[in-house]
Amino acid sequence: MSQAATVVHVELFGVPRLLAGSKAIAVAGETLGALSRALLDACPALAERVIDPRTGWLTEGYIFVVNDRFSRDPAFTVTPGAAVLLVSSVAGG
């Protein structure tokens, strides 16, 4: 991570929001992988169900949405001002 790391407010929905007890968490990172690890550090309640503590990456069933683009790629670059959501990858309605 560079000296001027990108700080992003990750908006949480569904189970992640319930576990975190918060609508959003501000974390620093330039990739989704870095954001995922930072989320785990900032909110240990996400461990196991949402983020695998062994890998620091999302468990099956969860996905990031960055500026309306769905991604499970930990190398996906996050730019300053990006809208980042953490949601269930399976939704019914």
pLDDT at 5: 75
Mean pLDDT of 16-27: 97
pLDDT at 30: 95
pLDDT at 2: 47
Task: Write the pLDDT tens digit of every residue in 32-88.
Answer: 999 999 999 999 999 999 999 999 999 999 999 999 999 999 999 999 889 999 999
pLDDT at 78: 96
Over the chain, what HEC string results? CCCCCCEEEEEECCHHHHHHCCCEEEEECCEHHHHHHHHHHHCHHHECCCEECCCCEECCCEEEEECCEEECCCCCECCCCCCEEEEECCCCC
- For the chain, list the domains and their CATH numbers: 7-88 (3.10.20.30)
